[in-house]
Structures are given as structure tokens and as C-alpha cells.
């Protein structure tokens, strides 16, 4: 077997397979010890803030689902502004998707994820000024 054109010994492959199996056992133990609290999103009070940047609450997300039929993350974003703040959904995206899935009674995979918008990471005007000086 080769990796990027270089030969790889079977012993190396076997060692990697053993290491991956060990990591998988550890991962499975973590999942069992600390299950993801998916039911927690359904139990959030309506006044719980989900998106701190835009001040969007769980109740607002539920209203968008109920009144606008927004059962997909980006549709809910269009109606509520969840994930449109400075963090661009990096902090609230998963929590918002959990609330949407619970309120719409659909699997989280069906809700999807928020599409990123430019800038991918915010930067200060000083950064722009500094880059202009170096030219």
C-alpha cells in the first residue's frame, strides 16, 4: 500500500487501525457517559435567549416556525435574524437548530445548518488600516 506515493508497511497500517479502535471505544464511552441533551431544547422557556448577538429568544424561533412555517435553519434565519449577528451563527447555530427541530417536531438533520456569510470571521478596522500601510 502507498500513501502519497510512499510505501507504507503493514505494521504501520495495523498500528493505525488499533489506535482508531481505541479512540472509537473512548468516543463511545463519552457518548454513553455524557449523552447529548437534545430534549433540553424543547424544554427551554420562551424568554431564553438563543442568539445573543441579535437577541433572538426560543419563543421567537417557535413563533417563526408556527406562523411562517420555517422548519429549516436558513428560512428561520430569514424571518427572525437568528445567526445574523457578529458571530454569524458560530455560537447560536446549533442551539437554534435544536430549538427549530424540537418545535417543528422534525429530526435535526432535516433542519440543516446556517449558511455562513462574509466576513467569515469579523476583524477590526485597525486590521484593514494596518494592511493598507504595508503596501
What tens-digit pLDDT sequence spans the chain (135 residues)? 777 788 888 999 899 999 999 999 999 999 999 987 878 888 999 999 999 999 999 999 999 999 999 999 999 999 999 999 988 898 899 999 999 999 999 999 999 988 876 666 666 777 777 666 554
Look at residue 38 in the predicted model and tell me its pLDDT: 77
pTM as predicted: 0.65
Task: Give the C-alpha distances (Å, rounded to integers) separating 52 from 39, 47, 82, 120, 133.
Answer: 21, 12, 9, 18, 35
Question: Of all helices (H) and strands (E), which one includes residue 6?
Answer: strand 6-7
| Assigned C-alpha cell, 91 | 455560537
Look at residue 104 in the predicted model and tell me its pLDDT: 94
| Assigned C-alpha cell, 73 | 435553519
Look at residue 125 in the predicted model and tell me its pLDDT: 77
Look at residue 133 in the predicted model and tell me its pLDDT: 58
Look at residue 107 in the predicted model and tell me its pLDDT: 93
Other Cβ atoms less than 10 A from the Cβ of 56: the count is: 24
Q: Which of 53, 49, 18 is nearest to 61 (CA)?
A: 49
Q: Is 128 left (phi over 0), alpha (psi -120 to 50) or beta?
A: alpha
| Assigned C-alpha cell, 9 | 508497511
Amino acid at each position: 500500500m502507498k500513501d502519497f506515493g510512499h510505501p507504507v508497511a503493514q505494521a504501520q497500517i495495523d498500528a493505525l487501525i488499533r489506535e482508531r479502535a481505541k479512540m472509537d471505544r473512548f468516543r463511545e464511552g463519552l457518548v454513553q457517559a455524557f449523552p447529548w441533551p437534545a430534549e433540553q431544547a424543547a424544554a427551554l422557556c420562551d424568554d431564553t435567549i438563543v442568539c445573543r448577538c441579535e437577541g433572538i429568544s426560543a419563543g421567537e424561533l417557535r413563533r417563526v416556525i408556527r406562523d411562517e412555517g420555517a422548519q429549516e435553519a436558513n428560512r428561520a434565519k430569514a424571518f427572525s435574524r437568528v445567526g445574523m449577528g457578529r458571530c454569524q451563527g458560530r455560537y447560536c447555530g446549533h442551539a437554534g437548530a435544536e430549538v427549530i427541530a424540537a418545535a417543528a417536531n422534525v429530526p435535526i438533520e432535516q433542519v440543516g445548518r446556517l449558511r455562513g456569510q462574509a466576513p467569515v470571521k469579523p476583524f477590526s478596522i485597525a486590521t484593514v488600516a494596518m494592511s493598507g500601510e504595508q503596501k
